[in-house]
Amino acid sequence: VHAFVTVTDELALRQAQKADELIATGDANSLTGIPALIKDNMCIRGIRTTCSSKMLENFVPPYDANVVERLNDCGAVIIGKANMDEFAMGSSTENSALFTTCNPWDLSRVPGGSSGGSAAGVAAGEAVYALGSDTGGSIRQPAGFCSVVGLKPTYGRVSRYGLVAFASSLDQIGPLTQDVTDCALVLNAIAGYDSRDSTLVPYPTPDYTRCLSADLGGLHIGVPKEYFVEGMQAEVATAIRTAINKLEELGAGVEWEVSLPHTPCALAVYYIIAPSE
């Protein structure tokens, strides 16, 4: 599927040795020794970071992104850097200046983007989880295309230190995983305060695995009617409604007729903010 820009074999071997030591001393956690893939716009010290651009083809950062530091502290094993749309500007990974990534479910189709390499790598089983970045859908859309879980965390929850910026008021780093439990575990690892990112909120990080209860009593969900846009395929609308019905069965309160009237303006506003930043 051509998900990897760089295979970090030597780094992975060093980290695997550290993971073995953590396991032997009883200091392992849920991510110790687990293979991870990192989108190639996040810095790893001594490993080239290209943003899938010829302009940065030989750039080697001298420091780690905060999310990489946090994964290192967990004993994770980083096996490579993932292909992406150049500088995260695209939604198919066809805009990579290096090569095109394919969708593992059908190699004739795209994996989405800009975190297409991250989504494809997880969907193909080449990594257990991946990190992507999301400015206007760049985690969530390829996750949907590749049938994996993708989450854009709340802005200010995950440090952007060491992320090559696209639009700083919109960018967030988040996980792509095979299931929701893994998503919560990775978010537990990467979320938290970092003084080097002034936009982070200085609040304690919750344990996201506590949100995995099958009892959703007390949770209130609004369904914006404008999100069921003209041209949406019937199968997609049915799948969304089925999922919402399931949440309702689990105890959540659902308000089906919430209105966000400015929704039609969202894309136009995005294309003003993102290029200007």
Task: Clarify whether 114 is annotated catalytic.
Answer: yes
Report H helices in 90-233. 116-123, 140-146, 180-190
Beta strands (DSSP E) in 11-166 are 35-39, 77-82, 129-134, 149-150
Q: Could you tell me which of 86, 83, 117, 89 has the C-alpha nearest to residue 103?
A: 117
Choose the catalytic residue: 53, 92, 114, 118: 114
Contact 83, 117 (CB under 8 A): yes
Using CA of residue 222, residue 225, residue 229, residue 235, what is the dihedral sign?
Answer: positive
The active-site residue out of 52, 92, 115, 138 is: 138
Cα 21 versus chain centre, distance? 28
Q: How far, CA to CA in Å, does 107 sit from each of 84, 120, 202, 266?
A: 16, 10, 44, 32
In contact, 20 and 92? CB cutoff 8 Å: no
From 39, 53, 96, 118, the catalytic residue: 39
Q: What letter does residue 172 receive in the DSSP assignment?
A: E
Packing angle, helices 66-74 and 180-190, rounded to 10: 110
CA distance 275 to 253: 38
Residues annotated as part of the active site:
39, 114, 138
